[in-house]
Structure 1
Amino acid sequence: MEPIIDKLIKLNDEWTEAGLQKQVTDPSSKYAGGVMDESTGIPRANHLGTPAVMAAWAASLVNPASRYYHHAGLLHALEQASDFMLRRQHADGTISLGSTNFNSPPDTAFVVGGVTQIYRLLERAEWPDALPAMANIKEFLTRTIPALLTGGCHTPNHRWVITAALAQLYEIFAQPELLHRAEEWLAEGIDITEDGEWTERSNGIYNAVSDISLYHTARAFGRPELLEYVRRNLRMMAYLIHPDGEVVTDYSGRQDLGQTFDLSNYFLVCRLMAVHDADPLFAAMADYAASFISRYKEGVNNHPMVGVLLFPSNLENVERDQLPQRYVKWLNFGHPMEEHLNRVQQVGHHMQIQHSSMHLAFGAPVVRIRELDDSVTMMAKAPSFFSLRHGKARLLGVKLATSFSPGVVSFDKLSADSSGVYTFHSVLEKGYNGPIPKELLAELAPDTKMSPWYLLPHHRRPFTHAQQFAITAEITQEQHAWRIRVHADEREDVFAQLTFIFGIEGQLTGSGIVPISEGRCFFQEGTLHYSAGQDAIEISSGAFEHRLPELREVPYPGGCQYAHVNLLSPFDHTFTIRLL
């Protein structure tokens, strides 16, 4: 037996026991049978709640290697949990996420994507004692079908989650309507670049969601061509891993932005694809991802133990490649992002979409550079344009903010030349809105005594006095150092602030550092020194050309240290980051 299987069995037994301790056993409670959520104390029917615990329980019950194999008490707990799911299911067949998204088809699809696997796992076991729980689970799934045949979504990945749910329901119920609805979603086309980046650019969460969803869609519907999109993303992800196993989240378009994630949620899809393709890189990624699985944190739709049991395979027969540790990787430099953005106005949605985002940064260029324990990311269309890991010393980001268009500059363009200079460029534009033409106002029949601002057709105002402000950042790699030059055009007196963002775990020192508040300081002059463990970064030199402690519309999330360099346009300032 593979070592990872032994590890998963042990962990799954631990998850099983932990879930039992959190189950509501009071029969008078409306939450009876549910498993309490750690953060709220309220049992939920969502994919991270009670169904995820049910997956661990089912895997333990049918696995002869588990200490809970055919355990009567655990089977009773599973039956009670399945009762809870039926009671928490709404009349329209949906469940609610709990934190938001009530009567939600996509959140129901997340649950269905895993509960179908629980049902098939129990069915395959041919264990008569499990029939009552199976009946409840099948009833739950049956009730979801109308919602998934008619329901919509919010985000890009929701389409593939719904499609995967339809595909796995089709395996059980064989209703042609399920296939037809899935084909309606698939007809929209797959939202991934040639280099493997999904719309949401979410390396920490939603890449893996889309990957595992399309894997099951391809498998259940016999659509192997869909696996090519999974391959693209996994191959890209091999270059988006820091030396300590943390994945790059510096430019995410979702809630994992700047948060810490490892590769563990890619374990199952890497394993399945490694076996399907006999691919040594995917096999190595599966091994590496497995090394980070230490506690239960996956949703029911991506449950590692259920996946291993339901789709058994021998990964030991697949050769292993070394994961890349020395590279310069350019991503999305060939993607026609500008062409696509130029067509936005033709679509007719006027940049409005309910409960979601346009994700206009999709396909923006990214450069990843890795040299063993040194890891660098450069990215356009992101709050930070440069980040660096030097061993344990973490420069989490470098961002530039201005008062011209108040807020952080998200550089539009990133280019690279043959001499190794990486250039970021943006032209900020801001103007003013003239009076609405009288003939358009006549359509409104306004009250001459009062004109509500929100009833006016602001999009018809002429644009006047357009102003521009051009900013460039140039980055050059030197021996054991990086040089960052930021410069602006000749416009005078635009307040700017360049910020170095460091991990909270390190020590920040320097004679030119002046505290502003907890975790924030000015870097006014001289050299700044940041160290963590035996690793250190030295940055020179600071500046203090104005006194503002912060600029408008610039957030400073907790858990970081911020060193601000105040610049006043026109500026041309060079920083040197030395790796010590």
Structure 2
Amino acid sequence: MEHITRQTFLQQCFGLGTLAVLSPIMTYAQHESTSDENFYQQIVQANNKEVAKLLTVFSSDITEIRRRLGFDLANLAAGYAESTSQYYQKEELVIAMTKIIRFILKAQQADGTLNLGNLASPPDTAFILEPLCVAATIFKHNTTPILATLKELLKEFILKAGESLRVGGIHTPNHRWVVSAALAQINDLFPNPAYVKRIDEWLSENIYIDSDGHYLERSMIYAEVTDRCLITMARLLKRPTLLEPVRKNLNLTYFYIEPNGDLVTTDSRRQDQFMTINVLNHYHDYRYLAIKDNNAAFASITKFIEKVKGFDEKIMVDLLPFCLEEPTYLKPLPTPKAPSVNFEKFFKTTNLVRIRKNDTTSTIFGGADFPIIIASGRSTNSNLFAFRKGEAILKYLRFSTDFFSTGYFRSQGITYQDGKYILHQRIEAPYYQPLPKQFKKANGDYKHAPSTDGRFWNKMDFEHRPQSNVKIIDTTISIEEKDGINELIFSSKGTDGISVTIEFCFKEGGQLTGVKEVENSPNNYLLAGKTGEYTYGKDTIKFGQGINQHTKIKSLEGEMYSSHFGTLKTDGMYVYLTGITPFEHKITIG
């Protein structure tokens, strides 16, 4: 879109006579309401600040190929093209952009890819193509001679990279859509039926989304990537049906948003299942569909994200290029209508429960992938419960036993009964008898295989051995929420004398009372008394009743981790309740 058309568009949207005069930045974090006009001025101001920084950065040599270079070039392109920018048509921006694209071209492999994280990677190349294609689109109809070399260099890189995407492979489910979205952008710049043919080849595998709204990876990080890519393909290829899974996923995502903007990732199958991430990156997706669908709830979520900590630094800073490339983002939002902040949702496809009452939330999880194998792409999370009360955060609660070093409890699903969510796990650990005669080998070289309970491997041909002395541990945990108070009842039985441990991990930086610090073990505490309290800011979580029957609080993960010297321990303040089987104990958290 040409710049004059963009200016006219903005004037029509916002009723502006001119955009030449800018007011100081006023973030949504500071003001409850800001006009669309002021918001656009904030976007331009943010770009001004970023451009000023980039001009300093690129006065020195570029030494490392990184994805961020694409966004740097896009931000410089936006500053150059936007007439209200203080850098409008400044030659120094062209010099910096040319320097960036020359460096990227020098790093480009013979096949068109870049070494970005992975070697000669088509999908990683696709990620950097997104902002580079945005920059090329901004300049698409600009025939100013000073831009000629830059545009030619951009075209050279994009077309060569496009060929690598047209024939290259991928690693993960979302990579299919990352590559396809980049090809859609390239096709929009330099039409070629071969690009669309490759997109159709990937799309013919179909986009999986379950009945609750999860994509294959069940990851908030990669769900957002998928949403953004499907939006790109939908608008550039004129395929509106691609927006259907996006709507479904964004509807689900709302229920995973904590009051401060963090996202629940407990049921993820990717690396974010043990990370703290927030909703900021979903901003473009919610805003686009709020406007396109006149969706009042999505508009409210959009406004909420604008108030989340880090919005200016992580989102606003890169908004201008995307607004110039796709002006839909700048149309006024529909009148927001906030979705309910009081709900109880059971996501049966992943065995996750979310309960929210204003600024108090509970998360229950019982849906790991069995058998437990520690690998990216599998759900192995042992966080069975989490709780937030304003600023006070119980990051997770886990349950562990020393039953043959099987480690943390992982529920085999969730059932709902009489107002309670029931989690259950049964483990049988046998001893093995001699092999029957027909399976014995003269050289003693038996099949290398896992034990029948999956705890370890050896060349013992376990599947053909009779079993005896079978030991059992059977654990049931029921969780019931009542007016912001959660009651958890633990029952673990089968083999007597087994040490069990309930582990609380609170957000670091808070204050614990009613607990006793474990000697020579900072940030580890025992709750032997009736109740304990955790306070962060103005909010307090009360928990108890305590129990202290042993002091085994190390290596709770089990043998699958300890055999590789691994741990699942995160940053935090830990409180432990300990008991011996047969174990029956009730605690409340609220």
TM-score range, shorter chain: 0.7 to 0.9
> Which position in structure 2 is the counterpart of 1:377?
363
Structure 1 residue matching 2:263: 3-state secondary structure: coil
Question: In the TM superposition, what is the alpha-carbon distance from 1:93 to its structure 2 partner?
Answer: 0.8
Matched, 1:553 2:557: yes
Matches within 5 A, 1:8-19: 8-19=43-54
Counterpart CA distance in 2 for 1:139 and 1:458 is 59
CA separation of 1:143 and 1:488: change in aligned 2, threshold 3 A: same
Q: Give the drift of 1:222.
A: 2.5
Does the residue aligned with 1:102 lie in a helix, a strand or coil?
strand
Rounded Cα–Cα distance in structure 2 between residues aligned with 1:429 and 1:16: 62
Deviation at 1:430, TM superposition (A): 4.2
Alpha-carbon deviations, 1:416-440, whole Å to 9, x = none?
23x3211112223445678889999
**Corresponding position of 2:86:** 67
| Contact in 2 for aligned 1:94/1:103 (Cα 8 Å) | yes
Match of 1:493 among 491, 494, 497: 497
Q: Aligned residue for 1:236?
A: 252
Distance of 1:259 and 1:494 partners within structure 2: 31
The range that moved more, 419-428 or 451-460, is 451-460
The 2-side partners of 1:172 and 1:385 are apart by 49
Q: Aligned with 1:498: secondary structure?
A: strand
Q: Is the 8 A contact 1:430 1:468 kept in 2?
A: yes
Relative to structure 1, is the Cα distance of residues 153 and 429 closer, same or farther in structure 2, using a 3 angstrom cutoff? farther
How far the C-alpha of 1:512 sits from its partner, in A, is: 4.9
1:380-395 map, 5 Å = 380=366, 381=368, 382-395=381-394
Tell me how far 1:95 sits from its aligned partner.
Answer: 0.9
Q: Measured at CA, do residues 95 and 460 of structure 1 come closer, stay the same or move farther in structure 2, by a change above 3 Å?
A: farther
Is the 8 Å Cα contact of residues 446 and 460 (structure 2) preserved in structure 1?
no
> Residue 57 of structure 1 aligns with which residue?
76
Cα gap change, 1:106/1:429 in structure 2, threshold over 3 Å: closer, same or farther? Answer: farther
Look up the match of 1:309: 324
**Cα shift at 1:88:** 1.0
Corresponding position of 1:93: 112
Q: How far apart are residue 197 of structure 1 and its match?
A: 1.5
CA distance in structure 2 between the partners assigned to 1:108 and 1:561 by the alignment? 40
For residues 175 and 423 of structure 1, do their structure 2 counterparts lie closer, same or farther at Cα, with a shift above 3 Å needed?
same
Q: SS of the counterpart of 1:383?
A: coil
- Where structure 1 has 5 or more consecutive residues not aligned to the other structure, the ranges are 26-31, 35-41, 334-362
Q: State the Cα distance separating 1:503 from its structure 2 match.
A: 0.6
- Secondary structure of residue in 1 paired with 2:89: coil
- The CA deviation at 1:59 is 1.5
TM-score by length of 2: 0.81
2:353 aligned with 1:367, yes or no? yes
- Distance in 2 (alpha carbons) for counterparts of 1:65 and 1:492: 75
Residue 28 of structure 1 is matched in structure 2 by none
1:274 is aligned to 2:276: no
Alignment-derived partner of residue 397 in structure 2: 398
Partner Cα separation in structure 1 for residue 335 and residue 299 of structure 2: 7
Q: 1:129 to 1:394 in 2, by over 3 A?
A: same
Going from structure 1 to structure 2, the CA distance change for 1:431 and 1:256 (only over 3 Å counts) comes to same
Q: Does the 8 Å contact 1:45/1:95 carry over to 2?
A: no
1:181 aligns with 2:198: yes
What RMSD in Å do the two structures reach over aligned CA positions? 2.9
2:280 alignment partner AA: S
1:266 Cα deviation after fit? 1.0
Alpha-carbon distance in structure 2 between the residues aligned to 1:257 and 1:403: 24
1:530 partner letter: Y
How far does residue 244 in structure 1 lie from its aligned partner after superposition?
Answer: 1.8
Worse-superposed segment, 517-526 or 225-234? 517-526
Question: Aligned equivalents of 2:433 and 2:178: distance in 1?
Answer: 46
State the alpha-carbon separation in 1 of the partners of residues 83 and 476 from structure 2: 62
Distance 1:220 1:473, change over 3 A: same
Deviation readout 1:43-95 (Å, 9 max, x if unpaired): 2232xx21121121111111112222112111110010010110111111111
Which residue is equivalent to 1:133? Answer: 150
Which of 225, 238, 246 aligns to 2:241? It is 225
**In the superposition, relative to structure 1, how do residues 150 and 440 fare at CA in structure 2: closer, same or farther (>3 Å)?**
farther
Distance of aligned partners of 1:127 and 1:437 in 2 relative to their CA distance in 1, 3 Å threshold: farther
Measured after TM superposition, the shift of residue 250 of structure 1 is: 3.5
8 Å contact from structure 1 (residues 250, 257) kept in 2: yes
Query: What does residue 345 of structure 1 align with?
Result: none
Q: What amino acid does structure 1 have at the position aligned with 2:584?
A: D
Deviates more, 1:370-379 or 1:120-129: 120-129
Determine if the alignment matches structure 1 residue 329 to structure 2 residue 329: no
| Offset, 1:184 | 2.2
Return closer, same or farther for 1:459/1:53 CA change in 2, 3 Å cut-off.
farther
Q: Secondary structure at the match of 2:150?
A: helix
**Contact 1:484 1:575 survives alignment (8 Å):** yes
Distance 1:451 1:477, change over 3 A: closer
- Paired residue for 2:306? 290
Q: 1:530 aligns with which of 529, 534, 551?
A: 534
Scaled by the length of structure 1, what TM-score is found? 0.83
Q: How does 1:355-504 map to 2 (within 5 A)?
A: 363-380=349-366, 381=368, 382-404=381-403, 406-417=406-417, 419-431=418-430, 461-462=463-464, 464-465=466-467, 468-504=472-508
1:495-514, aligned counterparts within 5 Å? 495-514=499-518
SS in 1 for 2:362: strand
Contact 1:383 1:409 in 2 (8 A): yes
1:400-419 C-alpha deviation (Å, 9 max, x unpaired): 122235232221211223x3
CA shift in 2, pair 1:175/1:441, >3 Å: farther
Q: Indicate conservation of the 8 Å contact 1:496/1:566, yes or no.
A: yes
Aligned to 2:582: 570
- 2:99 corresponds in structure 1 to 80
Aligned residue identity for 2:495? R
* Aligned-residue offset at 1:504: 0.7
Contact 2:478 2:489 in 1 (8 A): yes
Distance 1:407 1:188, change over 3 A: farther
Aligned counterparts of 1:161 and 1:173: Cα–Cα separation in 2: 18
Q: In structure 2, do the counterparts of structure 1 residues 462 and 59 end up closer, same or farther at CA, with 3 Å as the change threshold?
A: farther
Could you tell me how far apart the structure 2 residues matched to 1:183 and 1:257 are? 31
Contact kept in structure 1, 2:400 and 2:557, CA below 8 Å: no
Contact in 2 for aligned 1:268/1:307 (Cα 8 Å): no
Contact 1:485 1:575 in 2 (8 A): yes
Residue of structure 1 in register with 2:454 after alignment: none
- 1:573 counterpart letter in structure 2: H
Structure 2 stretches of 5 or more lacking a match? 1-13, 15-35, 369-380, 450-456, 559-566
* Larger displacement relative to structure 2 (84-93 or 553-562): 553-562
Q: Matched residue of 1:545: which SS?
A: coil
Change (3 A) 1:461 1:329: closer
Shift of 1:251: 3.6
Partners of 1:207 and 1:269 lie apart in 2 by 11
Q: Partners of 2:259 and 2:156 in 1: how far apart? A: 47
- The more displaced of 173-182 and 81-90 is 173-182
SS of the aligned residue for 1:165 comes to: helix
Distance 2:575 2:114 in 1: 45
CA contact (8 A) 1:402 1:551 kept: no
Q: How many residues align?
A: 522
**Cα shift at 1:494:** 2.7
Letter in 1 for 2:66: A
Residue 225 of structure 1 aligns to a residue in which SS?
helix
One-letter amino acid of the counterpart of residue 412, structure 2:
D
